[in-house]
Amino acid sequence: MATRIHRYAVSLAWTGNRGEGTATYRGYSRDHVISGEGKPAIAGSADPAFRGDPARWNPEEMLLASLSACHQLWYLHLCAEAGVVVTAYADASEGEMQEAPDGGGAFVRAVLRPVVTVSAASDAETARVLHHEAHAKCFIARSVNFPVECEPEIRGEPAET
């Protein structure tokens, strides 16, 4: 099978010039807008620890959201193929970034905590195991250089009487 290449394009525009550009470190906003053709814009900024707006998404949150969403999409796909009927899925993921003495930093780990509800007729163990396969296939998790852990909780719907 031939390798397929997928290309993605986004635009970013800095909106934080308060009139003096970057004349001083404290004199500009970190606000920006991320957009893509035909999609709603995302209001972005820096993490508040780096003088960002806490009401806007920061890059670190978006990286974590990408990991969570990619895992979920693969998981739902694999469940559909395996005959596991998922009726609800929610994730409360967390990530850790470590700052370096030079001011840079890097993520050192992320943990996904999906809570999945499956139909009473579905096999809960299969539902649990499919998280491992979803993680192995996730495009984003395969692209990062830090560990991404998955701590799923599987809940079964009550059987109808």
> CB of 93 within 8 A of CB of 149?
no
What is the reported pLDDT for 42? Answer: 96
Q: Could you state, in chain order, the average pLDDT of each consecutive group of 10 residues for the chain (161 residues)?
A: 88 92 91 94 94 95 97 97 97 96 94 96 96 96 97 89 63
For the chain, the residue count is 161
- For every residue of the chain, DSSP letters joined together read -PPP------EEEE----SSTTSSTTSS---EEEE-TTS--EEE---GGGT--TTSB-HHHHHHHHHHHHHHHHHHHHHHHHT--EEEEEE--EEEEEE-TTS-EEEEEEEE-EEEEE-TTS-HHHHHHHHHHHHHH-TTGGG-SS-EEE--EEEEPPPP-
Task: Give the span between the Cα atoms of 85 and 47, in whole angstroms.
Answer: 38
Bridge-based pairing state of the strands 11-14 and 32-35: antiparallel
Q: Which domains does the chain have, with CATH numbers?
A: 11-50 (no CATH), 59-156 (3.30.300.20)
* 0.85 surpassed by pTM: yes
